[in-house]
Amino acid sequence: MTTPLIPPSTKPSRGSIACVGMGMTLGSHLTPLSRSHIEQADVVFAGLSDGIVEIWLKRMNDDVRSLQPYYKEGKSRLQTYRQWVDLMMDEVRAGKRVCGVFYGHPGIFAWSPHKVIEVARAEGFDAHMEPGVSAEDCLYADLGIDPGRFGCQHFEASQLLLFERRIDPTGYLVLWQVGLVGDQSLARFQTGSAYRQVLVDLLAEDYPLDHEIIVYRAATLPIEKPRVIRVALRDLPEVKMTAEETVVVPPVSTPKPNLAIRARLDALDKQHAQGEIA
């Protein structure tokens, strides 16, 4: 028997909440600290999209409650996420040690974990977020992308359409939730190719239509391989898309040197060489 990283409950009089991430690939991404939070919790809430993962979770804790049934086509996801927060907080207020388990990283494109921690802290309870391996982490590894090389912007795809954002085509652009891009109701599970065409039209302001983009799905089971589809930007509407794809738009041009700043830095270097500045 291994020593738990989180000390076993000594019947806390106050409730607490820990939101942890399962990572993306079943069985291989869960960190020892996240596992310890799951094992030591009085009640575990599972915000996971996969029944197999829930079964696996039940081997670590007897009281695992699925948050999945609260989703419904036609019901606003925000309403669902508020319900999740209420369910978790009810148990925290009842003095329980609660663990919310979410796939990937619990704080990346995930509203409820951030909210429940905010609410719990405001009410004086202990609240903690434990990072996990996100789709973003897998993407860098599987596609061989270093976000530090050219820089990397991340957008929720609908947000990119609904607001006037500035895309930098000299760096990577990573688009999340493209499978439901343009859904203004927050109540659909998917949108069709006509919606993705709007995204293509917007991106065409910064990229040529034959620019190669990547539709990426990380492996969620150890027996799977990542799915990597490379297509021309113009063909994005025709790619079969689920709720689990992330789209990567590689840089199309090189950044322009900033001559004014370089001149300023050169002047500072001279002053530094003469011992005038640190």
Ligand X SMILES: C[S@@+](CC[C@H](N)C(=O)[O-])C[C@H]1O[C@@H](n2cnc3c(N)ncnc32)[C@H](O)[C@@H]1O
Query: CA 8, 13, 15 angle in degrees (round to 5)?
Result: 75
User: Which of 108, 117, 129, 203 is in the footprint of ligand X by CB under 6 A?
Assistant: 108
Measured distance CA(118)–CA(128) in Å, rounded: 10
**Binding span for ligand X by CB under 6 A among 39-47, 92-100, 117-125, 175-183:** 175-183
Burial of 163-201, coded b for 16+ CB within 10 Å and e otherwise, reads eeeebebebbbbbbbbbbbbbeeebbeebeeebbbebbe
Tell me which residue of 136, 80, 137 sits closest to 112, measured CA to CA.
80
Greatest distance between any 2 Cα atoms in the chain: 69
Q: Is 243 a binder of ligand X (CB under 6 A)?
A: yes
Residue 132 structure tokens: 């996990």
State the binding string over 110-129 for ligand X (x if CB under 6 A, else -): x-------------------
We find the least distance from the C-beta atom of residue 179 to ligand X, in angstroms, to be 6
Q: Which of 14, 65, 70, 81 is catalytic?
A: 81
Q: Is 109 a binder of ligand X (CB under 6 A)?
A: yes
Whether 77 is a known active-site residue: answer: yes
User: Which of 36, 40, 80, 134 is in the footprint of ligand X by CB under 6 A?
Assistant: 134
User: Which of 43, 105, 127, 215 is in the footprint of ligand X by CB under 6 A?
Assistant: 105
Which residues are annotated as catalytic? Answer: 77, 81, 103
Give the footprint of ligand X on this chain (CB under 6 A).
24, 102-105, 108-110, 134-135, 176-177, 179, 216-218, 220, 243-246
